[in-house]
Chain A
Amino acid sequence: MRFDFLIRFGVHKDREVLRTLRSSISGLVIPAHILCYSTDATIAAISYIKKDYYIDPMTFLYSKNIKEYLGEDRKRFKPSIDKMTASYGLIDLFVKKGYTALEVKDFSEQMISDFSQKSLNLQLKKVDERKEGAYKKYTELLSKVGKAHILSELNEPHMPKAIVPPYFFFGNLTDGWADLNIKFANKTQGMTESPIVPIICTNIDCLNDRLLDKYSNFKEVFIWIEGLDERDAEITDLTKYASFVKEASEKGFIIRNLYGTYFSIMLGKYGLAGMTNGIFYGEYKSIKAKVGGVPPVRYYLRKVHQFFILPEAIALITKFSGLLDVANDKVMRLIGRDPQNILLFEKNHSAAQTHFIYSREKEIEEVDSQTPIKLVEELEDVFVEYQPKVGMITNKSLNCLNTWASAFRRAGELGEKVG
């Protein structure tokens, strides 16, 4: 099974690049607040890009750090969150609670049922209900993919690949939130014939077989390990994550990471079925992170699996020619085989985005074609060769390559590095 590379849909102007590169990605994850806030544009993007999609219900933000999502007057949510909250029928509840975070005790059986139904409606019906208006508004854009396409799609339902039930972060398996998530998932499952893919949003310490037992009703899950920055994580945490993926896969789960770096791509070897990134961002996420904003252009050096600002990337490649991604024809064509041209990405945002997606695609291809031991040795070799060198030009460290290699070895019982 090919490793899924999903793109988190963030900015509408990205749709052109995503359409052009649709064969390089597996699908989209669309945050519910974006669908609710710019409904027509998002529907047009779904139709224009024509790939499988999931809708992330984003309900986690109601349970923690809720003040981050309030508007300037602090009396209601920011517009996009407000519209999503209205879709879930929760505005009155938040007014009553003075916009404080939801607690487990706020969820009666009736509320779980109503919330699940509304979340399901949002995911199953919102696109089709508003499609006609959206298609009218974006006729010019959509005609690029064919008028017949618009007509045929108007009559056919748009369905996400699976339904994602409401979910909340849980810090341990007994804090009430984990069970609440299961209730939401079971309730949603009882309401639809569509496949259900719960998001397990938790911390690294909760990744164990008891967690998998809780989700045993579900064949597919997304995992969001709160705040796990794979670039900065300890070997023990990454080993735990990798072992969990392995165990889940052995138990028959189709498990995808909601975020992730190259390390997660490597975990395709241990059964991880896919991961999601925004373009230039979204390798990890904390539940306290703000939503929104446009990420800056960065250049991804595939050899060392890191982003750099453009002058850093150019200086590094110029000094160390081995960092030029000559094995990636698509990238070479994009930069005309000349690292100087990377500078042009500053003004050509879509070229920069294209570069990132091509780089990820190549990483997935290479992991797919290599044995686990070969992958880990490659990481170790790159670390030994470049770690002492790059410090002359950037203050970024490549230590994560060594950490990834160690965690990957331990989880796969590949033995320690020789020499």
Chain B
Amino acid sequence: MERGVARYFESQNMVVNKQVPFTQKKIDIVLRNQQELWSIEIKIHDWKSALRQASQNKIAFNCSFVAVWYDFAHRAINNRDLFESMGIGLMTINKDFSANIEFSPSDEYTHYLSPVAHGYILDKIKV
């Protein structure tokens, strides 16, 4: 699924990095979207694990998303409050691997962006 999603974002003229190391963990997809860095943690259905991982990415990214396969996305959508309270956005991955943003991370979370962590990721990716 990760490869399909990466191809989709590349087709949208975004710079896509897969499996980006963030100290002892790896981030599924890192996108350079204009001046912003986005992280995406992808799962077919286990949105809770993806949410944990996304919450660990938050300090390094302008936006941090969970992406879930469309068949199972309703479970995550039903927990929108939890996502919002943690400042994480949600994407749905469609059958053709295109991605819809169901909701973006809440503005409040940008307060957590760490220059150290942001710089760390910039060093690890192609821009």
Residues of A within 8 A of B (CB): 296-297, 309-312, 314-315, 318-319, 340-341, 343-344, 346, 391-395
What 0/1 pattern do residues 19 to 32 of B give for CB contact below 8 A with A? 00011110000000
- Which of A297, A391, A395 contacts B24 (CB under 8 A)? A297
Tell me which of B25, B49, B55 contacts A309 (CB under 8 A). Answer: B25
- Interface Cβ pair total, 8 Å cutoff: 56
Give the dominant DSSP class at A's interface. Answer: helix
Chain A residues whose C-beta falls within 8 Å of the C-beta of B120 in the assembled complex: 343
Contact pick for A319, options B24, B55, B117, CB 8 Å: B55
A-B contact pairs, 29 of them (CB 8 A): A309-B23, A309-B25, A311-B23, A311-B24, A311-B56, A311-B57, A311-B59, A312-B56, A314-B59, A314-B114, A315-B55, A318-B112, A319-B55, A340-B115, A340-B116, A340-B117, A343-B23, A343-B116, A343-B117, A346-B23, A346-B24, A391-B52, A392-B51, A392-B55, A392-B82, A393-B55, A393-B56, A395-B49, A395-B52
Please list the residues of chain B having a beta carbon within 8 angstroms of any beta carbon in chain A.
Answer: 22-25, 49, 51-52, 55-59, 82, 86, 112, 114-117, 120
A310 and B23 contact, Cβ closer than 8 Å, known pairs A315-B56, A315-B58, A392-B52: yes
- Name the B residues within 8 Å of A310 (CB-CB): 23-24
Bound-state CA distance A346–B121 (Å) is 13
Docked pose: A391 CA to B55 CA in angstroms: 11
How far, in whole Å, are A312 and B59 apart by their CA atoms in the complex? 11
Given the interface contacts A315-B56, A315-B58, A315-B59, does A343 sit within 8 Å of B114 by beta carbon?
yes
Give the shortest distance, in Å, between A344 (CB) and chain B (any CB): 7
Find the B residue at minimum CB distance from A393: B55
Q: Which of these, A315, A341, A391, A392, contacts B116 with CB under 8 Å?
A: A341
Chain A CB within 10 A, most for which of B22, B25, B112, B114: B114
Chain A nearest CB from B52 CB (Å) reads: 6
Chain B residues, Cβ within 8 Å of A344: 116
**Shortest Cβ distance from residue A367 to the other chain B in the assembled complex, whole angstroms:** 29
Instruction: Determine the chain A residues whose CB is within 8 A of the CB of B24 once the complex forms.
Output: 296-297, 309-311, 346
In angstroms, how far is the closest chain A Cβ from the Cβ of B54? 10
Chain B, residue nearest A390 (CB):
B52
**Please, which residues of chain A bring their CB within 8 A of the CB of B49?**
395
How far is A310 from B117 in the complex, measured between Cα atoms in Å? 11
Chain A positions within 8 Å of B115 at CB level: 340
The 8 closest A-B pairs by CB, nearest first: A340-B114, A311-B56, A309-B24, A310-B23, A315-B56, A340-B116, A346-B23, A393-B55
Give Cα A73–Cα B78 distance, bound, in whole angstroms: 57
Closest residue on chain A to residue B22 by CB atoms: A311
Is the beta-carbon distance between A340 and B52 smaller than 8 angstroms? no
How many angstroms between the C-alpha atoms of A297 and B24 in the bound complex? 8
Within the assembled complex, what's the spacing in Å between the Cα atoms of A341 and B114? 9
Of all chain B residues, which has the CB nearest A309?
Answer: B24
Contacts of A391 in B (CB 8 A): 52
Which of B86, B115, B116 counts the most A-chain CB atoms under 10 A from its CB? B116
Chain A, Cβ-Cβ closest to B86: A392
Q: Which residues of B contact A315 (CB under 8 A)?
A: 55-56, 58-59
A296 to B24 Cα, complex, angstroms: 8
A314 to B51 Cα, complex, angstroms:
16
Chain B residues whose CB sits within 8 angstroms of the CB of A312 once the complex forms: 56
Least CB distance from B40 to A in Å reads 15
**Contact status A393-B116, CB under 8 Å:** no
How many angstroms between the C-alpha atoms of A296 and B115 in the bound complex?
24
Give the complex CA separation of A314 and B24 in angstroms.
Answer: 13
Q: How far is the CB of A410 from chain B (nearest CB, A)?
A: 33
CB-CB under 8 A from B57, the residues of chain A are: 311
- Assembly CA distance A318 to B57 (angstroms): 12
| Contact A393 to B22, CB < 8 A, known contacts A315-B58, A318-B59, A318-B112 | no
Chain A nearest CB from B50 CB (Å) reads: 12
What residues on B are CB-neighbors of A296 within 8 Å?
24
A340 contacts which of B51, B56, B59 (Cβ < 8 Å)? B59
Question: In the complex, A341 Cα to B49 Cα: how many Å?
Answer: 25
> Which residues of A have CB within 8 Å of B51?
392
Q: Within the complex, what minimum Cβ distance (angstroms) separates B86 from chain A?
A: 6
Besides the known contacts A393-B52, A394-B52, 7 further A-B residue pairs in the complex with CB atoms under 8 A apart = A309-B25, A310-B23, A311-B23, A312-B56, A314-B56, A340-B114, A393-B55
Q: What is the CB-to-nearest-CB distance from A90 to chain B, in angstroms, rounded to a whole number?
A: 40
